[in-house]
Homo-oligomer: A and B are copies of this chain.
Amino acid sequence: MNPLLVVGSVAFDTLHFHDASHPRVLGGSATYGALAASHFVPVRMVGVVGKDFPDSAVQMLKERKVDLSGLEVVDGETFHWEGRYVEDLSSRETIRTDLNVFADFRPKIPDAFQATPYVMLGNIGPDLQLEVLEQITRPKLVVADTMNLWIDIKHNELCNLLKRVDVLILNDEEARQLSGRHNLLHAGRELQAMGPRTVVIKKGEHGAMLMRDDQLPFCMPALPLESVVDPTGAGDSFAGAFLGYLARHDDITDAAMRRAVVHGSVVASFCVEGVSINRLHAASDDAITERSQTLRNLVQF
């Protein structure tokens, strides 16, 4: 089966909700992305952690067939982010960010990973994402995620990156900010003009929109959920499962991309049902298949 390379952050998150706090739970874009993708294909992960990174997390990833030979363990502490969600979970504020060992992170792609056909550039600085591309053989598909921080402080690097990625995945707010357009159709086209042939705009509880070349978009509502517990990592999970699905079927046609959006959406729906990676990790393949069928029924008419 086609392997998938994911590069991103590995972190501890301290999460505050209106009714509970969870100190130092496992997080990071590479962690969520790798776990999500691991439901579909073998995953190769590149990132950095400190000496405090627990064996239990390493074991959990290995059991999911995530190859950790690209995970550097260096002196110091693992990246730590602390944030607080508003009661309805619609937004969050950062309380503190301790970059720790992540401050000096320069991704090093092991030789054995350099020809991986499917590459997910998880949410880290676009300069680091570009460094990844410099080290690898032209893959079949490169998917990049980003965030408002990079749009603000590393705009030029992000523009350079966009010329070299096939799929850009970002949320509606980021799409508007990066494109300068409010209307999401216009925003998507503007982003396509910056490089990526395919743009996926995530709208959280409102679903996702896929724009490809100059075709009509594909729009998928999110599965209405009984309970949303923790939105952290939903975007990374979406991206990981999206690319994982494409890698598994080794298919990057329009039809496959649509099904990949559905699977990204389904896996993200598990992610938000538990704190940290708990539900994402526990979701069975059968449960994922069942939920994609539910999503199909949801829009059937």
Contact = CB atoms under 8 A, between A and B. Distances in A.
A274 interface: no
B185 A220 contact: no
Given A259-B301, A299-B299, A221 B224 contact: no
Contact of A182 (B88, B217, B221): B88
A294 B216 contact: yes
Nearest to A185: B224
A219 B221 contact: yes
Interface in A256-283: 258-259, 261-262
A198 B34 CA distance: 41
State which size class the interface on A falls in.
20 to 34
Interface of A: 88, 182-186, 203, 206-207, 209, 216-221, 224-228, 255, 258-259, 261-262, 294, 296-301
Contacts of A300: 218, 258
A259 to B, nearest CB: 5
B255 A218 contact: no
Interface centre among A209, A218, A219 (most CB of B within 10 A): A219
Contacts of A216: 294, 297-298
A226 B296 contact: no
19 contacts: A88-B182, A183-B225, A183-B226, A183-B227, A185-B226, A206-B207, A206-B221, A207-B221, A216-B294, A217-B224, A218-B298, A218-B299, A219-B224, A220-B221, A221-B221, A255-B301, A258-B300, A261-B301, A262-B301
B183 A218 contact: no
Contact of A218 (B184, B207, B218, B301): B301
B206 A298 contact: no
